């Protein structure tokens, strides 16, 4: 068979068969393999092969020593290969020194010899130095970013802690305080309002969904306090420049009772439309305070013994009723009354019996007059009444006076003694007898003296034509 050119070339490049091929493989293994193959027996037959084995073994040892950092391993023979190995040892020493310094961070390195190997390593050193410099810069940037993130994280944790701490303070304040808090969005009706638990407790509502919108709160205000609610209404409607409101009024609670509350808060406006956007406020139950104030006011304006209005409150109501009668075109009877021979009760039965008599008189006067009438004790056994009438005829007024005197004539038990009460009454009528309250009181007092002079147990109307007289004994 004729050989092809490829087959001829392949045969020529292959090592000879037999011992030579095994020697060639062994020499190649000495240079290339980490662990060389065993030495073939054929090498003992040739001195040249043995010398080559020694040279390659020495070369391998020199390379291994260089890898361990020993670049001065002795090479005892001469020739081109030992010279090349010695040159390679020097270059490898420089390369390893260069690599070691680069590893230590000294990037400014350059090999002291020329040639392709030096150019390759010097180029690699420059690229590595540039890369390390860039990595260092990135590391500094990353470190700065890390520190910034840590600082921001610290600030965020601190803010969250402070926020939680502040929220806890507010929660404790709301739970432990006496005020209820509301926070209501006035623009978005779908945003649920906030009511603290104390707010719900104060108005006696268990479910906040049972509460009406804030614009309907006024339906729950006591009719007598609608005017007092105007500052809150004006603030919610944006009809006042004042953002803060403060009102005291009675509101109907969930249990149907009216209680006094103090409402104070703010209405915040929208920055664009300037319309009311949000309200935050506190509600405080002031029922107990109002009751104490009412008690103090009652003591200041009412008689301690009978509970009837005293002289100060009587004069105030007299002025108000005269003004009302003037506006309405109606009449007002001013009645002054003294008990007949009251001094005898104190002298014979004692002051305690006299006090019981005064209390009973106060009850009988109150029960025999209308709700629109005013009954007062001015002092001692002196009482006074204000009786409004649509018509001012004496006959109509006399009906009321007779009813009062009849109630007084009923006997009363003082201690163990039955006592019959009689009284004398003097009457002046607005506007028939005058328009000035002080003048009307004076004329009713004059009529009282006329009744006493007439024999007591009587009533008398002031008469401008009657002679002025006073019987001192009648007092």
pLDDT in tens, 249-306: 999 999 999 999 999 999 988 888 888 888 889 999 999 999 999 999 889 999 999 9
Mean pLDDT of 239-255: 88
Domains 179-292 and 304-474 share a fold: no
Range 148-151, long-range pairs (CB < 8 A, 24+ positions):
none
What is the C-alpha separation between 325 and 309, in angstroms, rounded?
20
CATH homologous superfamily of 304-474: Reverse transcriptase/Diguanylate cyclase domain (3.30.70.270)
More confident residue, 162 or 286: 286
- Nearest of 184, 240, 185, 248 to residue 221 by alpha carbon: 248
Evaluate if residue 404 carries a pLDDT over 90: yes
More confident residue, 405 or 6: 405
Half-sphere exposure of 190 (CA within 13 A, CB side): 0
More confident residue, 205 or 71: 205
Domain boundaries defined on the chain: 18-103, 179-292, 304-474
Res. 10 pLDDT band, cuts 50 70 90: very low
Helix, strand, coil percent values for the chain (each to nearest 5): 55, 20, 30
Res. 111 pLDDT band, cuts 50 70 90: low
Mean pLDDT of 38-67: 75
Evaluate if residue 472 carries a pLDDT over 50: no
Specify the pLDDT at position 20. Answer: 72
Mean pLDDT of 444-457: 93
What residue has token string 């407790």?
A: 201
Specify the pLDDT at position 469. Answer: 53
Mean pLDDT of 304-312: 94
Where would I find the beta strands (DSSP E) of 59-178?
none
What is the C-alpha separation between 427 and 447, in angstroms, rounded?
6
Evaluate if residue 4 carries a pLDDT over 60: no
Please tell me which of 77-81, 87-91, 381-385 the model is most confident about, judged by mean pLDDT: 381-385
Specify the pLDDT at position 445. Answer: 95
Evaluate if residue 358 carries a pLDDT over 90: yes
Please give the structure tokens belonging to residue 187: 């623009």
Mean pLDDT of 440-453: 95
Evaluate if residue 381 carries a pLDDT over 80: yes
Evaluate if residue 74 carries a pLDDT over 80: no
Evaluate if residue 356 carries a pLDDT over 70: yes
Specify the pLDDT at position 163. Answer: 66
CATH class of the domain defined by 179-292: alpha beta
Contact 402, 412 (CB under 8 A): no
DSSP track, 312-340: HHHHHHHHHHHHHHHHHT-EEEEEEEEET
Distances (CA, A) of 357 to 99, 290, 336, 373, 409: 125, 33, 18, 22, 12
- Nearest of 113, 52, 60 to residue 85 by alpha carbon: 60
Whole-model pTM above 0.75? no
More confident residue, 475 or 97: 97
């Amino acid at each position: 068979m004729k050989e092809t050119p490829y087959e001829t070339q392949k045969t020529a490049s292959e090592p000879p068969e037999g011992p030579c091929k095994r020697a060639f493989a062994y020499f190649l293994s000495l240079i290339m393999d980490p662990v060389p193959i065993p030495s073939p027996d054929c090498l003992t037959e040739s001195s040249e092969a043995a010398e080559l084995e020694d040279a390659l073994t020495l070369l391998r040892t020199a390379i291994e020593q260089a890898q361990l950092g020993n670049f001065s391993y002795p090479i005892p023979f001469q020739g081109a290969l030992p010279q090349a190995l010695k040159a390679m040892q020097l270059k490898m020493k420089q390369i390893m020194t260069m690599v070691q310094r680069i590893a230590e961070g000294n990037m400014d390195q350059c090999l002291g010899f020329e040639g392709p190997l030096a150019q390759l390593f010097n180029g690699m050193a420059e690229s590595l130095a540039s890369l390390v410099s860039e990595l260092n810069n990135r590391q500094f940037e990353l470190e700065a970013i890390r520190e910034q993130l840590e600082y921001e994280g610290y600030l965020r944790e601190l803010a969250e802690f402070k926020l939680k701490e502040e929220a806890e303070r507010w929660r404790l304040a709301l739970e432990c305080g006496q005020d209820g808090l509301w926070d209501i969005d006035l623009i978005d009706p779908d945003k649920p309002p906030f009511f603290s638990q104390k707010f719900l407790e104060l108005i006696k509502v268990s479910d906040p969904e049972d509460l009406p919108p804030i614009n309907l709160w006024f339906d729950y205000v006591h009719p007598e306090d609608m005017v007092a609610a105007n500052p809150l209404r004006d603030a919610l409607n944006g009809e006042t420049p004042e953002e803060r409101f403060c009102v005291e009024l009675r509101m109907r609670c969930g249990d149907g009772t009216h209680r006094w509350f103090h409402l104070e808060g703010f209405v915040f406006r929208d920055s664009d439309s300037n319309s009311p956007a949000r309200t935050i406020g506190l509600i405080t139950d002031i029922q107990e305070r109002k009751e104490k104030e009412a008690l103090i006011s009652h003591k200041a304006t009412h008689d301690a013994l009978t509970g009837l209005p005293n002289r100060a409150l009587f004069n105030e109501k007299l002025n108000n009723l005269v003004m009302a009668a003037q506006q309405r075109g109606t009449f007002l009877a001013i009645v002054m009354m003294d008990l007949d021979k009251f001094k005898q009760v104190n002298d014979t039965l004692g002051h305690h019996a006299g006090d019981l008599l005064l209390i009973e008189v106060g009850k009988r006067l109150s029960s025999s007059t209308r709700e629109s009438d005013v009954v007062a004790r001015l002092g001692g056994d002196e009482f006074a009444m204000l009786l409004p009438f649509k018509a001012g005829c004496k006959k109509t007024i006399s009906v009321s006076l007779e009813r009062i005197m009849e109630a007084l004539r009923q006997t009363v038990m003082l201690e163990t003694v039955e006592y019959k009460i009689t009284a004398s009454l003097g009457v002046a009528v607005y506007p028939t007898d005058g328009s000035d309250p002080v003048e009307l009181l004076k004329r009713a007092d004059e009529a009282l003296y006329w009744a006493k002079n007439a024999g007591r147990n009587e009533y008398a109307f002031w008469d401008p034509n009657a002679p002025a007289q006073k019987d001192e004994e009648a007092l």
